[in-house]
Amino acid sequence: MASGLYGRTLVRELVLDLLLPPRCAACAHVLDRRARGAAPQPGDALCARCLRRAAALVLPRFAAAHLAPGVRAIGAFAYTGVVAEALRAVKVSGHHSAAAGLGALLRATVPLPPGVTVSWIPPSPRKLRARGVDLVRAIAGPGASPLLATVGERPDQTALAPDLRRRSPAGGFVATAAVPAAVVLVDDVRTTGATAAAAAAALHAAGAERVLVVTLAVGGADARSAAAGTANV
Ligand SMILES: [Zn+2]
């Protein structure tokens, strides 16, 4: 559905798609022609070589972490290499089909049980204006349900030093729909987990009992400790 939120970006995206062959979000290699209208595929975002490189970045035990009571978090890839390059390219260009392809890659890497409610962490209005597209919604996939909205403008987490990120306000989200007891909450990158914990708190306040935060990538100390855990095994 091309709502006002997506209309302008969608048309620009479709026209670009018409004029240019789709390219790998990490290395800009021209992608194989894919079947139009099919469900998103990992190959919509990355070429075969970059998909193999991404496979080498899958995190041991998906860097599982406990963010708060009733809030666990896992992530598919270390936030580095082709995964970081692809996310940066998607964020800068707002390339919607690549974001959907990254979502397909996430679901192929972290298979979620059917029937569980999937939602995503919405961007601040400022980020949405800057990008023109809700990247995380595209990663969460066509079956995801909108459950959260941001309240006011949050400080840009990436612009803050790590110690300030942890201390940034825990508010900033509110539930906008009926929330089931268990929710999978998708985000692009987990660094400190502060944003995910704030979003999960809003779901808890609206009745969720358990929240599993699933991110495409994990950066910072959590990714390093997951990698160190493997090295020690
Ligand atoms: Zn590539």
In tens, the pLDDT along 183-211 reads 999 999 999 999 999 999 999 999 999 99
Residue type, 165: R
Ligand 1 midpoint to CA 13 (Å) = 20
How many angstroms is it from 62 CA to the middle of ligand 1? Answer: 23
Residue 215: the pLDDT is: 98
Ligand 1 centre distance from Cα of residue 96 (Å):
17
Is residue 92 within 8 Å of 131, Cβ to Cβ? Answer: no
Tell how far the Cα of 44 is from the centroid of ligand 1, in angstroms: 11
Say yes or no to pLDDT of 145 above 70: yes
d(CA 72, ligand 1 centre) in Å = 32
Which residues neighbour 155 within 8 Å (Cβ) at sequence distance 6 or greater?
168, 169
Expressed as residue numbers, the domain containing 196 is 4-232
Question: What is the pLDDT at residue 229?
Answer: 63
Q: How far is the CA of 122 from the centre of ligand 1 (A)?
A: 28
The per-residue pLDDT for 233 is 37
195 close to 46: Cβ distance less than 8 angstroms: no
Q: What is the rounded distance in angstroms from the CA atom of residue 145 to the CA atom of residue 197?
A: 19
Pick 22 or 38 by higher pLDDT.
22
Q: Ligand 1 centroid to 32 CA: how many Å?
A: 11
| C-alpha 142, offset from chain centre | 13
Token pair belonging to 22? 């789709």
Contact 173, 148 (CB under 8 A): yes
pTM reported for the whole predicted model: 0.82
* Residue 35, pLDDT score: 59
Ramachandran angles phi, psi of 218, nearest 5°: -125, 125
Residue 72, pLDDT score: 97
**Span from the CA of 125 to the centroid of ligand 1 (angstroms):** 31
- Phi and psi at 138, nearest 5°, equal -65, -40
pLDDT digits (tens, 9 = 90+) for 148-164: 999 875 555 555 455 54
Task: Check if the beta carbon of residue 72 is closer than 8 Å to that of residue 65.
Answer: yes
214: nearest Cα among 99, 136, 135: 136
Q: Nearest CA to 60 among 213, 220, 218? A: 218
**What is the 21 CA–ligand 1 centroid distance (Å)?**
14
CA of 204 to the centre of ligand 1 (A): 39
How far apart are the CA of 102 and the centre of ligand 1, in A?
13
| Residue 167 CA to ligand 1 centre (angstroms) | 37
Quickly count: other Cβ atoms within 10 Å of residue 43's Cβ: 18
Domain count, the chain: 1
DSSP state of 46: S
